[in-house]
Amino acid sequence: MNAQELTGQARSHIVELPEPPCLLHADAQGAFLAMRRAAAADGLDLAAQSSFRDFGRQLAIWNGKFSGSRPMHDAAGQPLDAAALDPATRIDAILMWSALPGASRHHWGTDIDLIDRNAIAAGYQVQLTPLEFGSEGPFADLTRWLETHAARFGFFRPYQGVRSGVQAEPWHWSFAPVSEPARRHLTATILRAAIENAPLLGKDLVLERLDEVHLRYVERIDMP
């Protein structure tokens, strides 16, 4: 991937799947569909709640949380009042759950937030919370299936709450054969170039801390 693709400013590496509807890296689609077929044989309807996300979309998420127009949560998942936090604390709170624009693994088309559509009751709104994927949640069977089978299709969980500053996300799975080279190629220099001219709220503070942010939230993941 080139710098534009790595930072979500181009989508030349992305293909669109009609069913289940999602946007994936061209080299990840085959593995995902094979994993979906295997899951279907065990009664699961594997689908992407979120897949490729471009720079502009990630910027809107970031700015919405920084301004307080989008919900923001603490490490325990409890709501936070953005206005009650100083800018530096606000940045830390956002990074626990949402990537800096240009630094999202979703830019690569390799990372998918997975759900089981067969487990969703009529009218239920998926929130992507740890409770939903825990032993009593609607996606408990999905969690067990993925933990058992995902690795043989090349997928792993980059955020398990061990090495990265990102909180554990049991729904977030990554296609290692493509995402690992992408992670190594996304340097702090490339990231800086992507955000320097972007209308990012809190940008001056982010740029001051960019090397630290890159190390903690891009380089450090829970390895496959």
- Report in angstroms the alpha-carbon separations of 200 from 68, 94, 167: 14, 13, 22
Provide the pLDDT confidence category of residue 24 given band limits of 50, 70 and 90: very high
Indicate if the pLDDT at residue 83 is higher than 90. no
Answer whether residue 150 shows pLDDT above 80. Answer: yes
Q: Residue 75: its pLDDT value, please? A: 79
The rounded percent of the chain whose pLDDT value lies above 70 is 100
Provide φ and ψ at 95, rounded to 5°. Answer: -65, -20
More confident position, 75 or 199: 199
Cβ contact 158:222 at 8 Å: yes
Output the pLDDT for position 79: 84
The reported pLDDT for the residue numbered 207 is 96
Mean pLDDT of all residues in 148-154: 98
> All domains of the chain, ordered by start, with CATH?
3-119+133-219 (3.30.1380.10)
